[in-house]
C-alpha cells in the first residue's frame, strides 16, 4: 500500500511544477520578446521588424519613430486581444545601418584570404574589435555579379550587420575578390 500511495503522490508533485512552468511560460510570452530587430518597412502609423536571430517578423501597430534599416535592441509584446500585431515595450539601443560599395580595392589581408580560398567559396574572419570580414572568391568574370548579389540582398546583409552589432557594411572588389566588411 505504501507503494501505491507513493506512486499516487508522485504524479501530483510532478504535475504541480509543470503547471507552474506553463503558467510562467505564458507570463513570459505576454511580457514580451527581447531581441535584436531589423526594421524592414516603415509607414507613418506602423513598422515591420525582423528578429535577426530567429527570422520571425513582427508587424507593429504603431511606429515609435523607427526608420527603415534601423537595428533595434528592443522588447516587443503582442497587442491584445488577438495578438496579431505588436508594440515596442522598450528600446535599449537603436542604430542606423548602411551598405555602400567602395571604390577602394580589397586590403592586402583580404587578398591573402582570397588566395587561400577556392574559387566560388567564402572565407570569414573576425575583425579586431567588432565585426567581421567576408571574402568571396568568384571567377574573375563574375565579380561584378557577386557585388550586385550582395547589394541586392540588402535585407539579409543588414540583418547580418545587426546580428554582429555593427553600423555599416562596406563592399570592396577587384577581379576574383569581393570583400564584405562589417564595420562599427
Q: Provide CB contacts within 8 A for 22, sequence distance 6+.
A: none
Q: Provide CB contacts within 8 A for 26, sequence distance 6+.
A: none
What is the crossing angle of helices 143-152 and 154-164, to 10°? 70
- Separation of alpha carbons 78 and 28, rounded Å: 11
Average model confidence (pLDDT) across the chain: 87
- Separation of alpha carbons 28 and 46, rounded Å: 24
Mean pLDDT computed over 40-55: 97
Give the strand pairing for 98-101 and 168-174. Answer: parallel
Q: What is the pLDDT of residues 5-24, one digit of tens each?
A: 444 444 433 333 332 333 34
Q: Name the band, by pLDDT with cuts 50, 70 and 90, for residue 129.
A: confident
Mean pLDDT computed over 94-101: 97
Q: Residue 181: pLDDT above 70? A: yes
For residue 30, the model assigns a pLDDT of: 52
pTM of the model: 0.80
Mean pLDDT computed over 16-42: 63
Amino acid at each position: 500500500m505504501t507503494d501505491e500511495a507513493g506512486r499516487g503522490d508522485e504524479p501530483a508533485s510532478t504535475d504541480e511544477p509543470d503547471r507552474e512552468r506553463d503558467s510562467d511560460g505564458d507570463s513570459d510570452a505576454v511580457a514580451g520578446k527581447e531581441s535584436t530587430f531589423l526594421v524592414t518597412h516603415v509607414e507613418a502609423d506602423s513598422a515591420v521588424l525582423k528578429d535577426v536571430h530567429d527570422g520571425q517578423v513582427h508587424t507593429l501597430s504603431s511606429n515609435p519613430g523607427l526608420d527603415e534599416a534601423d537595428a533595434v535592441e528592443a522588447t516587443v509584446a503582442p497587442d491584445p486581444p488577438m495578438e496579431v500585431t505588436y508594440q515596442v515595450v522598450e528600446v535599449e539601443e537603436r542604430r542606423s545601418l548602411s551598405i555602400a560599395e567602395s571604390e577602394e580595392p580589397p586590403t592586402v589581408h583580404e587578398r591573402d584570404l582570397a588566395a587561400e580560398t577556392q574559387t566560388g567559396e567564402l572565407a570569414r574572419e573576425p575583425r579586431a574589435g567588432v565585426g567581421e570580414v567576408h571574402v568571396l572568391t568568384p571567377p574573375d568574370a563574375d565579380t561584378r555579379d557577386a557585388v550586385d548579389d550582395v547589394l541586392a540582398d540588402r535585407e539579409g546583409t543588414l540583418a547580418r550587420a545587426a546580428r554582429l552589432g555593427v553600423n555599416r557594411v562596406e563592399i570592396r572588389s577587384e577581379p576574383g575578390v569581393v570583400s564584405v566588411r562589417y564595420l562599427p
